[in-house]
Structure 1
């Protein structure tokens, strides 16, 4: 009986954790929300056709994604967000196709990470990599929260720049 309880516990734990980072129906809504914000800046970006987990190692997961700012009013500096980011198991992430449209030809390529969701599905983190044709670029984090069934970006910041 003890073996059964242990196996049941670990199975439930794995299912909950997998759900944490895999709300498939919400992905496109989040990507569209981010692209809408990004397209408000000039120039528009070409969107990669699939996610890429290689570049996410530059983000400070073990530090909770906290910004360099000491401003506690920033969502990314709140205990709620720090705990969420620290709980993300990046080893469980895998790439998938991104089914949203961006500008076809652009000198800036935007590649997204897989979206990482909180256990209850009310918060999400998405990372992106902007690369210009000359090889320069940066990496950006979008913190999103769901309000009345709609995803809203509550904070965006650049966490890496390369040239």
Structure 2
């Protein structure tokens, strides 16, 4: 009887934790939604790929700390803390996850997110995505640098780090 009770408790905890979003899941969705909102404010219309794709990370320079061609010292990717955070990201330890944020059926452009990366202290997040146009067969890789300010994720900076053709 004790074994049966322990099994039921284990299964109920496993099922319950699998059906609800963790705080990290909620934070990821907030960051994805923030990127989507910014792009829509710029007048972009696009379809959101229904899950993250690690392949979107392929042309981002993790070993160089995410530094782009812009050497302006005021940019987030040129800040020592950000460089250290990006260099220490282990891309092999992440997995893709579903994104249920499609509000537009536009299929001429597609936004494909990579999984979100968080700093160990929870104050920084890196969002990477590819924006692809089926019409022109071109696109770009983009990175958004987020910082937590009073428990709200705010974009610190954004960079286009590659073009796709």
TM-score by length of 1: 0.83
CA deviations 1:78-125 (Å, max 9, x no partner) are 000000000100001110001223311241100000000000111000
Residue equivalent to 1:35: 36
Across the aligned residues of Structure 1 and Structure 2, the Cα RMSD in angstroms comes to: 1.3
1:41-52 equivalences under 5 Å are 41-52=42-53
Poorly superposed stretches of 4+, deviation over 4 Å: none
CA distance in 2, matches of 1:140, 1:61: 13
| Kept after mapping to 1: 8 A contact 2:147/2:153 | yes
1:88-107 equivalences under 5 Å are 88-107=89-108
TM-score by length of 2: 0.82
| Kept after mapping to 2: 8 A contact 1:45/1:102 | no
Total equivalences in the alignment: 142
What runs of 5+ residues in structure 2 fail to find an aligned partner?
Answer: 1-22
- Ranked by relative contact order (alpha carbons within 8 Å, sequence separation 6 or more), the top structure is 1
What runs of 5+ residues in structure 1 fail to find an aligned partner?
Answer: 1-21
CA distance in 1, matches of 2:64, 2:130: 20
Q: Which has the larger radius of gyration?
A: 2
